[in-house]
Structure 1
Amino acid sequence: MSKPRSLWFGHWTLAHRILAVNLLTIVLLACGVLYLDAFRNQLSEERLGLIRREANMSAGALAVSPREARPKVLESLARSSDSRIRVFGPDGRLVADSWQTTGPTYELRDPNTQKWTKDAARAMDRGFNILVGATPLDDFIEPEKDSLQAWPEALQAKASKTAVTQARNAPDLTPVFSAATPAADGVVLLTTNDRDFTRTVRSQRRSLFVAMALAVLLSVLLSLFLARTIVRPLRRIALAAHRVRLGRAREVKVPRLPSRTDEIGLLARSISDMSQSLRHRMDNIEHFAADVTHELKNPLASLRSAVEGLERVQDPELRTKLLAVARNDVVRLDRLIGDISEAARTDAELARARFEPVDLGSLIEQIVGAWEHRRETGDARLAFARPRKDTAVILGDPGRLARAIDNIIDNAISFSPSGGLVEIAAARVGEEVRIRIDDEGPGVPEEAREAIFNRFHSVRPESEDFGRHSGLGLAIARAIVEGHDGEIDVQDRDDAPSGARFTIRLPATELA
């Protein structure tokens, strides 16, 4: 039962994961900054709206109050709102000030007398304002001569006949909100140093910083998790690759990481397949080297024996026989070395070959014509059922395909009886092209049908000249066919009393 894959492992590439981790903190920071800026702006608008309403209420209350009761009303309004209320007459002179009766209802604090923590908070305020691009507020300074002309919002309210608000910064960067509204006989101005506003904003900012700290912690944990999901499997792959390079272990298990569908999973499976292919190739090289050594020893031993005999034998007839043996051994060695070289080059050349469309009907026709022209078929006859032109087309290397088919025809001719018929046919069947080569020989025993494709398989007909075949022909043919993503097998014929049927299956293609 396979393990369920999470979204993180199943669909996200490494680039996506790294980008997500790197962007997480930035996105959360941006969201937090935008939220805090929006919160502060909304809170500021609410406070300005509140002081505007208080200014209008104060102007209305003063307008309906008897003149002698106005100081008490002014005092009551100032205490209830913790603000300072000024009343300016029609000529702009200050006619009433709530602080004359209530005393100061707020205090503008000197930042030089405060603790360092307040300096740090103000530095953070300035940094936040720069970050969000907030418009700097004017500094609040009490005028030396308190008159209507010293307050721009009061002048604007008198001119526009509507309430006007304004926000300024106190020396300690707490806001001072003011609202001026026209009255029956002048202008009413309210000012207040709203320290609660700053405490509320800074409290929200602290909460945001706590959230950001958690986000950074989460980002670090995710980064560590990401490093684990990348570094640990890469280390396992690297160690396995190092063991493969050392070559001390016969079998090195490279982790395939089947649950990973990202680049690391692809890398793991690619290296695993590469190591298996390398191990298989090395095993083949070892077996091939052992087989070559074994096959070369026999003709060399025979040649050596013949040469040594020539030194001792004086009989002309016997010397002639020994020279014939030596000549046959040299021919056998030459053929064997040529076929060994061909077998060794096959895999490498197929890996580099550029495949092209090949019409197997035309190719086989040329091969059959060459056999008949050389007249090397002996008593055997060749018959080829040529398919329609451009119907048996595959992608491949024409030279290598010709060698594979030629080897099988050669094998069929060598096993054919005197006057035997070798039938060759090619046709497209579905998505593949099938080549069939039938002979009338003894056939291939079922237990040997796989072995005949091994290198240096040496079961040959008794009538064949010694050393004519190296035992590599069918092995080369299979390597070429498999190099073209095809298959080759041998069965007994079902339409004759005896004989073998070699069948080659290759993927078909269409001519452009």
Structure 2
Amino acid sequence: MRPDPGDEDARALSLRWSARVSLTPRILFVNVFALAMLAGGFFYLDSYRSRIVDGRVTQSIREARLIAEAIVAVPTAQRPDLAVKLARDMGSWVRIYDAEAKLVIDTRGLGLRNFVLQDPDKQDWRQAAARFLDAGIDTVVGTPRAPLYRERSNGLAWPDVRTVRSAPTVAATVWRAPDRTPVITAASPMPGGSVVMTTFNARDITQTVRVERFRLSIVLFVVAIVSVLLSLFLARTIVRPLRRLAWSAVRVRMGRAREVVVPRLPERRDEIGMLARALSDMSLALRARIDAIEAFAADVTHEMKNPLASLRSAVEGLALVKDPDLQERLLAIVRDDVHRLDRLITDIAEASRLDAQLSRAKFEPVDLGAMIAALIGSREARGVERGIRLQFDRRSAGFPLKPLVVLGEGARLERVLENVIENAISFSPDGGLIRIVARHDHDMLLIAIEDEGPGVPEEAREQVFQRFQSLRPAGEAFGKHSGLGLAIARTIVDAHHGSIVATERDDRASGARFVIHLPAAAPDA
């Protein structure tokens, strides 16, 4: 069993996880997601800071080793002055511990106070806001929190000194100052068990990262505002008209089609404007279809009242009349009315089903030339009343004759030709000629059916195609035709994307001319 194409389209257009979410939060989510991607820049800044800190740690280790080598290379008396000079040049606090971890040289005690930690309580609100922002971002990006820097009274209290004393290597540690700036300590061994330790407050790293974070925060804030405004704009320009269209469709479904005016949004040239105009046209077509159904129902009621009233009178009269001749006449009326009702109901049933049947019809190549010839032959074989003649004139712009092929449903197109030919026979005089012309007219096929009857008045040429509208020839018994033949013919021709009109004859002679245009099929159809 083949899958339903409608189900396949529905599955292709379905949304699994967001099907129950309105468009407005979806638009906001998409834009906020883009902002989240931009906020990923904070992760990059964190890795950038980590790389800078690692570089400073490496630098501090190298400086501690150089200071240790320089101190060892000079006499003991010159070591304090050299330590102060090196500490000033490198911007570090230099301390030297002896083999017993006692402090022997301290550049700060010698008057060089180039290492001063900032007191957060004495800084202004901007620094406090910066620290708060640092703490929030560090929490979000998951930055490891360094231990708080505190002064130690004993050299062995420093982990770097303990590491150097236990193994002949250089050690360093990153601390966190009270103002959240990094403090880097490094220790290097000296001959005899002494240790040199440097302490450096890398406030410039924090300032650099804060500046970049501030810039990124400003960009993120501005983009967030613009993104929210754009989301609201999109929600206003997309969601609101869609809701209006949906509400209009709901009101049409509730049976209020006449009261509903579906907005056409003529100023919009996008897909929503196309949807609005399509829905508006659909509602107008639906309204016209409802009006046509209502008018058809009213016409059916009106057309059936006359034969029913006649039938009722005749049946009631049969019970009262005793004269055999009158009874026979009443029975003849009953038979005529029954036949008339049967013919009327048959035509009504076909007319009511015609639209649905044509919508499901499968069009195939149909040779109208062969169909017309066969139809005329069949009609002549049955006999044409009153000596009326049928003539088929097949014309073409060149030779050999082009096939008169259209894409359509053969039985329905045959019904069109039968109805128009029967209409021409009804109006033709005794011994009259009905001429049928078929030829190519550019990319269309033209079929013209002419008779020699009284013709169709100009003011009634459109009216004859309406249901239950009939201009009957003089002398024809009432009720012989239902008035649906030409209406059915037009419905079928319209379904084949063609047209049918009533005009006067080209030679201005008396008679009617019905012209049918149908799209010609491609040669390889």
**TM bucket, shorter chain:** 0.7 to 0.9
The CA distance in 1 between the partners of 2:78 and 2:311, in whole Å, is 142
The CA distance in 2 between the partners of 1:248 and 1:121, in whole Å, is 59
What is the CA distance between 1:126 and its match in structure 2? 4.2
**Secondary structure at the residue paired with 1:394?**
strand
Partner of 1:455: 467
The one-letter code sitting in structure 2 at the alignment partner of 1:383 is Q
The CA distance in 1 between the partners of 2:444 and 2:32, in whole Å, is 51
Which one of 37, 50, 61 corresponds to residue 27 of structure 1?
37
Per-residue CA deviation, residues 350-385 of structure 1 (Å, 9 max, x unaligned), is 122232332322333333233223224542222224
When residues 436 and 181 of structure 1 are mapped into structure 2, their CA distance, relative to the original with a 3 A threshold, is farther
Per-residue CA deviation, residues 114-173 of structure 1 (Å, 9 max, x unaligned), is x9999966754643554xxx8998999987298999459x9789xxxxxxx977344766
What is the CA distance between 1:456 and its match in structure 2? 1.1
**Secondary structure at the residue paired with 2:501?**
strand
The reply to whether residue 195 of structure 1 matches residue 203 of structure 2 is yes
The CA distance in 2 between the partners of 1:406 and 1:465, in whole Å, is 21
The CA distance in 2 between the partners of 1:377 and 1:56, in whole Å, is 128
Q: Any conservation in 2 of the 1:359–1:389 contact (CA below 8 Å)? A: no
Which one of 453, 457, 466 corresponds to residue 445 of structure 1?
457
Partner of 2:251: 243
Partner of 2:3: none
Partner of 1:379: 387
When residues 121 and 19 of structure 1 are mapped into structure 2, their CA distance, relative to the original with a 3 A threshold, is closer
Partner of 1:393: 405
**Secondary structure at the residue paired with 2:467?**
coil
The reply to whether residue 475 of structure 1 matches residue 478 of structure 2 is no
Per-residue CA deviation, residues 244-282 of structure 1 (Å, 9 max, x unaligned), is 344457342111223445554344333222211111011
The one-letter code sitting in structure 1 at the alignment partner of 2:49 is R
The CA distance in 2 between the partners of 1:478 and 1:287, in whole Å, is 17
Q: How does 1:343-358 map to 2 (within 5 A)?
A: 343-358=351-366
The reply to whether residue 84 of structure 1 matches residue 96 of structure 2 is no
Which one of 305, 308, 312 corresponds to residue 300 of structure 1?
308
The reply to whether residue 325 of structure 1 matches residue 337 of structure 2 is no
Q: Any conservation in 2 of the 1:139–1:168 contact (CA below 8 Å)? A: no
Partner of 1:507: 519
What is the CA distance between 1:326 and its match in structure 2? 2.5
Q: Any conservation in 1 of the 2:182–2:206 contact (CA below 8 Å)? A: yes
Instruction: Select between 190-199 and 168-177 the one with higher mean Cα deviation.
Output: 168-177
Instruction: Select between 117-126 and 437-446 the one with higher mean Cα deviation.
Output: 117-126
Partner of 2:422: 410
The CA distance in 1 between the partners of 2:301 and 2:218, in whole Å, is 77
Which one of 217, 232, 235 corresponds to residue 240 of structure 2?
232
**Secondary structure at the residue paired with 1:144?**
helix
Partner of 2:506: 494
The one-letter code sitting in structure 1 at the alignment partner of 2:251 is R
When residues 284 and 176 of structure 1 are mapped into structure 2, their CA distance, relative to the original with a 3 A threshold, is same
Partner of 1:310: 318
The CA distance in 2 between the partners of 1:382 and 1:221, in whole Å, is 76
The CA distance in 1 between the partners of 2:68 and 2:264, in whole Å, is 83
Q: How does 1:137-176 map to 2 (within 5 A)?
A: 144=156, 150=163, 168-170=174-176, 174-176=181-183
Q: TM-score, normalised on structure 1?
A: 0.77
Q: Any conservation in 2 of the 1:358–1:393 contact (CA below 8 Å)? A: yes
The CA distance in 1 between the partners of 2:225 and 2:500, in whole Å, is 62
The CA distance in 1 between the partners of 2:428 and 2:335, in whole Å, is 27
In structure 1, the gaps of 5 or more residues are: 1-12, 158-164
When residues 138 and 151 of structure 1 are mapped into structure 2, their CA distance, relative to the original with a 3 A threshold, is farther
Q: Any conservation in 2 of the 1:391–1:428 contact (CA below 8 Å)? A: no
The reply to whether residue 75 of structure 1 matches residue 84 of structure 2 is yes
The CA distance in 2 between the partners of 1:64 and 1:377, in whole Å, is 140
When residues 166 and 257 of structure 1 are mapped into structure 2, their CA distance, relative to the original with a 3 A threshold, is farther
**Secondary structure at the residue paired with 1:488?**
strand
When residues 397 and 116 of structure 1 are mapped into structure 2, their CA distance, relative to the original with a 3 A threshold, is same
The CA distance in 1 between the partners of 2:169 and 2:265, in whole Å, is 75
When residues 364 and 443 of structure 1 are mapped into structure 2, their CA distance, relative to the original with a 3 A threshold, is same
What is the CA distance between 1:213 and its match in structure 2? 4.2
The one-letter code sitting in structure 2 at the alignment partner of 1:489 is V
The CA distance in 1 between the partners of 2:342 and 2:428, in whole Å, is 25
When residues 281 and 177 of structure 1 are mapped into structure 2, their CA distance, relative to the original with a 3 A threshold, is same
Q: TM-score, normalised on structure 2?
A: 0.75
Q: Any conservation in 2 of the 1:427–1:434 contact (CA below 8 Å)? A: yes
What is the CA distance between 1:417 and its match in structure 2? 1.8
Q: Any conservation in 2 of the 1:456–1:472 contact (CA below 8 Å)? A: yes
When residues 287 and 139 of structure 1 are mapped into structure 2, their CA distance, relative to the original with a 3 A threshold, is same
What is the CA distance between 1:300 and its match in structure 2? 2.1
The number of equivalent residue pairs is 484
Q: Any conservation in 2 of the 1:108–1:170 contact (CA below 8 Å)? A: no
The one-letter code sitting in structure 1 at the alignment partner of 2:451 is D
Partner of 1:162: none
The Cα RMSD (Å) is 4.6
The CA distance in 1 between the partners of 2:380 and 2:175, in whole Å, is 109
Partner of 2:49: 40
When residues 346 and 135 of structure 1 are mapped into structure 2, their CA distance, relative to the original with a 3 A threshold, is same
Partner of 1:419: 431
In structure 2, the gaps of 5 or more residues are: 1-22, 121-126
When residues 39 and 118 of structure 1 are mapped into structure 2, their CA distance, relative to the original with a 3 A threshold, is closer
When residues 251 and 421 of structure 1 are mapped into structure 2, their CA distance, relative to the original with a 3 A threshold, is farther
When residues 280 and 315 of structure 1 are mapped into structure 2, their CA distance, relative to the original with a 3 A threshold, is same
Partner of 2:346: 338
The reply to whether residue 106 of structure 1 matches residue 112 of structure 2 is no
The CA distance in 1 between the partners of 2:65 and 2:267, in whole Å, is 71
Q: Any conservation in 1 of the 2:28–2:228 contact (CA below 8 Å)? A: no
Q: Any conservation in 2 of the 1:371–1:377 contact (CA below 8 Å)? A: no
